[in-house]
Chain A
Amino acid sequence: DTGVSQDPRHKITKRGQNVTFRCDPISEHNRLYWYRQTLGQGPEFLTYFQNEAQLEKSRLLSDRFSAERPKGSFSTLEIQRTEQGDSAMYLCASSLQGEQPQHFGDGTRLSIL
């Protein structure tokens, strides 16, 4: 069990650029979740996958955000045309199934200049 892995750990980019983050879940976990956390707040749900199917998306996930999990293993989260308000920690978590504990990766901290 190597834990949830996220890459990169930090990303600094200019407003308007596109960014992509990667998450590798715990190997036997079929559920993968993305959350966003801003300073002083708890994480907010963005979307989740069961295997390769994206089953739920938050209203927070605007059209500029897209997530994929093409083979049911790793996932990517892309943000197009980044805005200042996208600056946050993006957290990935995985679990065996619903209602079970979710285990978080170290997160990707995004800073928009």
Chain B
Amino acid sequence: QKEVEQNSGPLSVPEGAIASLNCTYSDRGSQSFFWYRQYSGKSPELIMSIYSNGDKEDGRFTAQLNKASQYVSLLIRDSQPSDSATYLCAGATGSAGNMLTFGGGTRLMVKP
């Protein structure tokens, strides 16, 4: 069992809709979580970091963390075609959170 699980998708949403991306993790020792966006052939780009239970908002993006349920999510409001990419969820694992464990990513397609 992978330590960080994501639905591979594709998740298809119309332009202007809310895209909801989900992630579960198994390592209860993980305290910090990150969402990265990766366009095809490019490297991961950090979108959001979240360290405590609850919601964290940054522009059109909201990250949610529920440590009791071991669940992380990313909401993208007013989705744009340029948001079409693979979204990677990662948790800081290992001693002192020294490495990131990634899920396999969810491919998002925003249709005009």
Q: Is the CB of A98 within 8 A of B43?
A: no
Count B interface residues, CB 8 Å.
28
**Number of A-B contacts defined by CB within 8 Å:** 63
Q: Assess A102 versus B100: contact at CB under 8 Å? Given A42-B90, A91-B43.
A: yes
Whether the Cβ atoms of A42 and B104 lie closer than 8 Å is yes
Residues of chain A within 8 A (CB-CB) of B24 are: none
Q: At the interface, yes or no: B98 with Cβ under 8 Å from chain A?
A: yes
Decide if A98 touches B100 in the complex (CB within 8 Å): no
Partner of A48, one of B8, B34, B99, B101: B99
Interface string of A27-55 (1 = CB under 8 A from B): 00001010100001111110010000001
On whether the beta carbons of B97 and A99 are closer than 8 Å, the reply is: yes
B43 to chain A, nearest CB (A): 4
Contact residues of A with B, CB < 8 Å?
31, 33, 35, 40-45, 48, 55-56, 58, 89, 91, 93, 98-107
4 closest Cβ pairs, A-B complex: A42-B102, A99-B97, A45-B99, A104-B43
